[in-house]
Each structure stands twice: as C-alpha cells, then as structure tokens.
Chain A
Amino acid sequence: MTNLQEFPIAGKYGRYGGKYIPETLIPAINELEDAYIKIRNNPKFKRELNYYLQNYAGRPTPLYFAKNLTDYVGGAKIYLKREDLLHGGAHKTNNCLGQCLLAKKMGKKRIIAETGAGQHGVGTAMAAAVLGLKAEIYMGSIDIERQKLNLFRMELLGAKVHSVNTGTKTLKDAINEALRDWITNVKDTYYLIGSVVGPHPYPMIVRDFQRVIGEEIKSQLKDISTRSPDALVCCVGGGSNAMGTFFPFLDDDTVSLYGVEAGGLGIRTGKHSATLKVGSEGILHGMRTYLLQDEYGQINDTHSISAGLDYPGVGPQHVHLKNIQRAEYVTCNDNAALDAFFKLSRLEGIIPALESSHAVSYAMKLAKKMRADQNIIVTLSGRGDKDIDQVINFRKKYIGGSK
C-alpha cells in the first residue's frame, strides 16, 4: 500500500482533487506550485515561519487534559488541542501566516481571501497586516449578518471586506467571487484559500501549513503517555483543522480518525452540511470531490448552526480517506453541538467555537464507549466568542426560553 503521507500523487488523492479551473488561472496555479515546492523545505523560510508561529501567534498551543469533562462523561480520557488559544482565536492563523509569507516571497502584494464564519478573513487580515501586505476579503452578505463582530475585526485590521450578494450569499459564493477577482487580477494577486479545498496545489499547501497541529500533538503526547492516541476527533467543514491533525498519524493504524460534519437540523430535513456522509461525487471550486448537489449537479444550499461548517464541498483528501476507510466521518446536529458548547463552557471554563463544539459532542459520545485507559484527542479548532449572538438567536428560534 502506498504511504498515505505521499499524497497527492500528480495533484490527486485517489481520483479526487485535480485542477478544474478557467485557463486564465493556470499560469498562477503553476507559479504557486513551483514557488511552494521550491520554498517548503528551505531552512530560512521554515525559520521565518516558525518565528511568527511562536512569537506572534503563540505556538505551541497546549494539549490540555479535560479532567472535568472526562469525569462527567466517564470512559476514555479526553484531551483538547487548544487551537482556540492561538492568536486570532482559531487554527486558521497557521495557514494564513504560512501562505502570506509564501505570497511575500513570491513578490505578491495583494492578498484576496474568502471567508465563511469570518475566522479565515480575520486570520488573513492579521497575517497581511503583520507582513505588510494588502488584504481584500470576500464574505457572503448572510454570513456578514450572522458574524458582524468578525466583519469589524477585519476592518479594524486594515482589510477591505466585499459583501457578496450572489447565489446563496454564503461561503461558496464568496469563493466564486474571490475566484472571479483572481481571474481579473491574476498578475499581482495571491489567492489565499482558507481550507484544504480548491484546485491543486491548495489542498496540499493548506494541509502542510496545518499539520503543525498534529505534529505538536505527537510530541506533546510523549510527555504525558507512552501510547499513541486511540482516537483523534475533529470537526470538518472544508476540513483543514482535521487534515492538519490527522496527517502526521495517517500511517499509524492504531489511531482511529473521526471527522465530524454538521448534521444541522438533521440529515432527513435536508438542512445540514454533511457532505461526506450523504454527498456525491462532483466538480466545484477547482476540484473533484464530494458535494451536496441535486440530481442535475446544481449545488445545494447548506445549513449549520456554525457558519464555518456551512459548505457544500469538502477537501478531496478527506474523500480519499473515507473511501479507503482510513477515517470515519460522522455527523452532529445543531442541538447536540449547542449542548456540547454549554457543557464545555460550564465544566472546563472554555467557550468553544460552534464548529469545534461538533467535535466535542462526538468525542463525548465516543468516550463513553471506550475504556478509561484509552485516550481521545479533540482539536478545539477555535474559541466561541464570535458565536455568542448566534447561540442566543438559535436558542430563541429553536428551543425557546432560557436555560
């Protein structure tokens, strides 16, 4: 069997990935791939990136044993990889710093990015500010409405935010608009994709800048236990924090990998974002992957309580891992995620992002079925400060009353 860390092979993960893009972007994609391959092992580049990751963003993030949560659930020990403590409040910063530094080395001065929940937009705005680049962010008008705070943060950080009013007015349309901008301004613009999606080489580049999560887990675990983790649990929208966590463990079969997708209001209602669970093969945003689509290939509206998981596609490497049964992909509904949001807040004094709450929720379920000498590591991809309004609104709308 091929070593799973060798993927992508010729830009593909099995039959997934590839590049399906307008011709105008081909030179830019090729330039990016060449530049990245040349620089990724360059010691000076690595040193510089590490400098920013440590001194600016606060790496390494702790691996925290959630004792209260573990006691409450009963079963396997639950550890939290605290990406919520990273500067910016989410794992997105890892990729934004990496790609902004890459863009700078390539001589690009203008960065464009899409954002759903606003976290990638904020990460891009921060990284661009500190590295002296100009950032413009595309964000769906519906997402702006539900993540007002992040809009202000981006503007505060000096980024220009474009409200996207086409299609479903959410993340996928923000990606479309960013791609159109790139087609128009391809000569001087760097497109900073925020997840392990898009045409090759993006899924690989983003994964490589996020694998620091998994690498750190590996070394931190050695300090507290002799065994490798029994299970890794991460939420999956596009799938960048999950891929960053999973990647260093892909070829260690003793580690079970779980990706948790947004079950929304329930799979049967059709209002969800469970692409891997119930989607089908298709081509969108430059890649062959799984999509939520209708019988004609039109992309469906998605739903999740968390804007960051609200995406009708998924990273192509996740599709590959699912197909070869290396990782298991499950769902967690809005209500269960919300429950985990409150539990973690009360039990550990940690307010998790709604995205990460999906992973926490599944980990609680999983821990119960496992032995006390086993351990689960949950990547707490972000903090929940940005979600307070959303939680209040959601409770009013679907649950009623106060808790």
Chain B
Amino acid sequence: MSHLLNNRIEKKFCELKLKKQKGLICYVMGGYPDPKTNEKIISSIVDGGADIIEIGIPFSDPIADGPIIQEASFRALQNGINPDICLNLIRKTRKTYPDIPILIMTYSNILQRKGFKKFMETAKDAGTDGFILPDMTIEESKEYLEYSKKLELASVFLVAPNTSNFRIKKTLDVSTGFVYVVSVYGTTGMRNSINKYTLNAIKNIKKLSSNRTNISVGFGISTPDQVKLMSNFGADAVIVGSAIIQIINSNKDNNIHQLQNKLKNYVTTLKDACYDR
C-alpha cells in the first residue's frame, strides 16, 4: 500500500492504533433529509464519537445500494440536492471540524461528468480526504488514481468475499487510506446475522495485507455486537450507513433535538464497542 503521509485518514488510523481502538466510520447521505438538518446530523455523529465521516453524493442509479440508501438518494435528488450542495456541506463541516477525516462515497459518473481532475480538485479544496467509488474497478482507475496521488486524496477500493487472493493483493497495492471489505454478497443495508464467510474474508485480507493496510468492514453492520465480532477477526474499522439513515427516517415528527440525541447515543454505543477490553 502506498501511504499518504499528510492525509487525515492515515493520521486517524495511527492515532487509533496508539489508543488501541478500532475506528468507527459513519455514513450520511449529503443533504438528506435537508441541508440544514444534515449539518446537525453530522455534528451529532461526530459528538457521538465517529472517527471518520463518509458523505454520500446521491446518484440516480445506485446499483451497489440496498433499499434504504436507494430511497434516500432518490428523495435527496427530488429535493434538488446536487454535488455542489454536498461539497458546500463538506466545506462547512471542515470549518467546524478541522481534523476529522471526510470521505466522499458516490458513483463514478458524478466525477466523470465534471471530469475526474476538476471534480477531485474541487473536492480537495472543500476539505475532502478521499473517495469511495463502488463501481470503480482497478482496471478502469488510471485517471482516478493519477489525480488521487497528485492531490493526496485517498482512493479507497473495495474487496468482496469472493475476490481472489491475486486480486486482493493488486487492490491492496492501489488502495490508500484503507481497503473497504464488503462483508456480504449483496447491496448495502442492515443484516441480522453475520456469515462465517465474512469473518474468514476479513481474516484472509488481514493476512494478505501483512498488517500494512487498514481494513474497514462495511455493508450490513448496525449493532455493537457486530462491531466487536468484526474487530475480533481483524477489522481496523467498521462502516455504518443504512442504520443511520433508518434513524433519520424514523424521526417522523421532525423533532431535531430528539433526532440529534438518538443519533448521538446510537453512535456512542457503537463507538463503545470499538474499545479494546
């Protein structure tokens, strides 16, 4: 793995290791349910103890996402949320939290449309630390990697339970910040149980990385027990997304203080599961 020394993500993982903690990465859909509430949501999540924030830019055709994030993208787009609004949100978040790592999760066409160079420069300028593009493959990543390197942005690639060892090694070579282990066969969204193949995949990737790459596990994680289990099998961080959107959706009476408390408490219970004891 190539290291980006000046990147907040790398620094965060170093810090976590010193403190013997696992990392908690929380996903929010940019501008959802509306830009104002979204800012408050991010604050609650950071206050609750999130180590890294992932901001989703809604795309019309999110093939890697399950029903909860699909619906959130759809509604965000209907409310007029666009990449510019999301980047402004990142700019604001960066001002409030100078040190928290921020990643953009979106689909390749959002970058392609403006041009990879231009979009990534703007994102960098807004305070972004890297990208997660679930439909970007290492085969097609030449341009993307070129500007990731130039701009010192993390390029987080995904590996799946069925990815071959040969390909895992290739992915570890180009993935910076961390490598995103997709825990299941399927799209994003909460699951009740954890499969044995998931734990084996984490163990295997951990071994192949020889401890040189940070491993984050996502897709389907929502409970403290799941966080502990993933950590025990070698995950350096866990990623939680749909569960957070679900809490936002359950705030039917639009009580923002109640929502903030709920989110903060939820994130805190997950973060508690990240301490080594």
Which of A21-29, A34-42, A63-71 is near enough to bind chain B? A21-29
Q: How many residues of A contact B (CB 8 A)?
A: 36
A282 touches B61 (CB 8 A): no
Shortest CB distance B240–A (Å): 19
- Residue A283 at the B interface, CB < 8 A? yes
Q: Is B232 an interface residue (CB 8 A)?
A: no
A286 to B111, CA, bound (A): 15
A27's nearest neighbour on chain B, judged by CB, is: B162
Q: Are B182 and A23 in contact (CB under 8 A)?
A: yes
**Chain B hits for A402, CB < 8 A:** none
Would you call B140 and A22 a contact (CB within 8 A)? Answer: no
| Residue from the list B77, B140, B158 in contact with A23, Cβ < 8 A | B158
A187 adjacent to chain B (CB < 8 Å): yes
Provide the main secondary structure of the chain B interface: loop
Indicate whether B128 reaches chain A with its CB closer than 8 angstroms. Answer: no
Cβ-closest chain A residue relative to B67: A166
Q: Within 8 Å CB of A293, what residues of B?
A: 109, 113
Q: A166: which of B70, B110, B113 is its contact (CB, 8 Å)?
A: B70
Q: A24-B185, A184-B186 are in contact. Are A283 and B109 (CB under 8 A)?
A: yes
Task: Enumerate chain A residues within 8 angstroms of B61, measured Cβ to Cβ.
Answer: 167, 172-173, 176, 284-285, 299
Known contacts A22-B160, A167-B61; decide if A297 and B112 are in contact (CB<8 Å): yes
- A271-295 interface code vs B (CB 8 A; 1 in, 0 out): 0000000000111111010010101
Which residues of chain B (158-192) have a CB below 8 Å from chain A?
158-164, 167, 182, 185-187
**B137 CB within 8 Å of chain A:** yes
Docked-complex contact B163 and A27, CB < 8 angstroms: yes
The answer to the question of B139 belonging to the interface, with a C-beta cut-off of 8 Å to chain A, is: yes
A167, B61: Cα distance in complex, Å: 8
Does B121 reach chain A (CB closer than 8 Å)?
no
| A27→B185 CA distance, assembly (Å) | 12
Are the CB atoms of A296 and B113 closer together than 8 Å? yes
Instruction: Report how far A250 CA is from B23 CA in the complex, Å.
Output: 56
What's the Cα separation between A183 and B66 when bound, in Å? 11
A285 to chain B, nearest CB (A): 8
Q: Which residues of A contact B111 (CB under 8 A)?
A: 297
**Chain A residues near B112 (CB-CB < 8 A):** 281-283, 288, 297
The CA of A285 and the CA of B59, in the complex, are separated in Å by 13
Q: Are B74 and A20 in contact (CB under 8 A)?
A: no
Query: With A and B bound together, what is the CA distance between A20 and B74 in angstroms?
Result: 21
Q: Does A19 contact B (CB under 8 A)?
A: yes
A298 to B185, Cβ gap below 8 A?
no
Shortest beta-carbon distance from A301 to chain B in Å: 10
Report the minimum CB–CB distance from B162 to chain A (whole Å): 5
The residues of A with any CB-CB pair to B shorter than 8 Å are 11, 18-24, 26-27, 166-167, 172-173, 176, 179-180, 183-187, 281-286, 288, 291, 293, 295-299
Residue contacts A-B, CB under 8 angstroms, 9 given: A18-B140, A22-B134, A180-B186, A183-B63, A183-B185, A183-B186, A288-B140, A296-B83, A297-B114
Extra 8 A-B pairs, beta carbons < 8 Å, given A23-B159, A179-B63, A297-B83: A19-B139, A20-B140, A172-B61, A183-B64, A187-B162, A297-B109, A297-B113, A299-B61
